[in-house]
Structure 1
Amino acid sequence: MTVQIDSQGRLRHLLTLDGLPRPVLEGLLDRAQAIIDDGGRSARGRLAGQAVCTLFFEPSTRTRLSFQRAAQRLGADVLGFDASTSSTTKGETAADTLRTIEAMDVRGFVVRDRAEGAAAALAAIAAPGTAIINAGDGRSAHPTQGLLDMLSLRQAKGHDFSGLKVLVVGDVRHSRVARSDLHALRILGAGEVRLCGPESLLPAPAEMQGTPFAHDLDEAIEGVDVVMMLRLQRERMVEGLVESLEAYHRRYGLTAARLRRAAPGAVVLHPGPMNRGVEIDDEVADGPQSLVLQQVANGVPVRMAVLEALLSATGSASPAPGS
Structure 2
Amino acid sequence: MKNLLTMTDLSKEEILKIIHEALDMKENGVQPLNKKLTVANLFYENSTRTKCSFEMAERKLGMDIIPFEISTSSVQKGETLYDTCKTLESIGVDALVIRHSENEYYESLEDLNIPILNGGDGSGQHPTQSLLDIMTIYEEYGYFKGLKILISGDIKNSRVARSNAEALTKLGAEVLFSAPDQWKCDITNTQYVDIDDVIEEVDVCMLLRVQSERHVSGKSFSKDDYHKNFGLTLDRYEKLKDRAIVMHPAPINRGVEIDTTLVESSKSRIFKQMENGVFVRMACLNNVLNFKEEKVKCHL
| TM-score normalised by L of structure 1 | 0.88
Report what 1:44 is aligned to: 32
Say whether the 8 Å CA contact 1:170–1:232 is kept in structure 2. Answer: yes
Report what 2:159 is aligned to: 176
1:315 CA drift (Å): 8.3
Question: Which one of the candidate residues 79, 91, 97 is aligned to 1:92?
Answer: 79
Say whether the 8 Å CA contact 1:200–1:242 is kept in structure 2. Answer: no
Deviation readout 1:27-51 (Å, 9 max, x if unpaired) = 10110001001121xx2234x3210
Report what 1:147 is aligned to: 131
1:312 CA drift (Å): 2.5
Matched, 1:125 2:118: no
Say whether the 8 Å CA contact 1:51–1:79 is kept in structure 2. Answer: yes
Report what 1:212 is aligned to: 191
Matched, 1:281 2:262: no
Q: Which residue type is aligned with residue 138 of structure 1? A: G
1:239 CA drift (Å): 3.5
1:257 CA drift (Å): 1.3
SS in 2 for 1:78: strand
CA RMSD of aligned residues (A): 1.6
SS in 2 for 1:171: coil
- Describe how 1:15-164 pairs up with structure 2 within 5 A: 15-40=5-30, 43-46=31-34, 48-122=35-109, 124-127=110-113, 130-158=114-142, 160-164=143-147
Cα distance change, pair 19–103 in 1 and its aligned pair in 2 (3 A): closer
Say whether the 8 Å CA contact 1:228–1:269 is kept in structure 2. Answer: yes
Say whether the 8 Å CA contact 2:165–2:188 is kept in structure 1. Answer: no
1:314 CA drift (Å): 9.1
1:110 CA drift (Å): 0.2
The 2-side partners of 1:166 and 1:134 are apart by 24
Cα distance change, pair 118–148 in 1 and its aligned pair in 2 (3 A): same
Q: Which residue type is aligned with residue 45 of structure 1? A: L
1:313 CA drift (Å): 5.7
Q: Between Structure 1 and Structure 2, how many residues are aligned?
A: 294
Say whether the 8 Å CA contact 2:151–2:176 is kept in structure 1. Answer: yes
Say whether the 8 Å CA contact 1:255–1:283 is kept in structure 2. Answer: no
Say whether the 8 Å CA contact 2:115–2:292 is kept in structure 1. Answer: no
Cα distance change, pair 187–80 in 1 and its aligned pair in 2 (3 A): farther
The 2-side partners of 1:217 and 1:189 are apart by 21
The 2-side partners of 1:35 and 1:51 are apart by 21
The 2-side partners of 1:188 and 1:167 are apart by 15
Q: Percent identity?
A: 40
Question: Which one of the candidate residues 247, 268, 278 is aligned to 2:246?
Answer: 268
Report what 1:14 is aligned to: 4
1:80 CA drift (Å): 2.8
SS in 1 for 2:10: coil
Unaligned runs of 5+ in 1: 1-10, 317-323
Say whether the 8 Å CA contact 1:232–1:279 is kept in structure 2. Answer: yes
Unaligned runs of 5+ in 2: 295-300
| TM-score normalised by L of structure 2 | 0.94
Question: Which one of the candidate residues 208, 220, 224 is aligned to 1:230?
Answer: 208
The 1-side partners of 2:32 and 2:24 are apart by 13
Say whether the 8 Å CA contact 1:12–1:131 is kept in structure 2. Answer: yes
SS in 1 for 2:280: helix
Larger % of helix: which? 2
Q: Which residue type is aligned with residue 177 of structure 1? A: V
Cα distance change, pair 314–79 in 1 and its aligned pair in 2 (3 A): closer
Report what 1:321 is aligned to: none
Cα distance change, pair 50–118 in 1 and its aligned pair in 2 (3 A): same
Say whether the 8 Å CA contact 2:162–2:188 is kept in structure 1. Answer: no
The 2-side partners of 1:64 and 1:243 are apart by 30
Report what 1:298 is aligned to: 276
1:19 CA drift (Å): 4.3
Cα distance change, pair 244–50 in 1 and its aligned pair in 2 (3 A): same
Say whether the 8 Å CA contact 1:112–1:119 is kept in structure 2. Answer: no
Deviation readout 1:160-208 (Å, 9 max, x if unpaired) = 2112111000001000011111111012111x2111010111113xx23
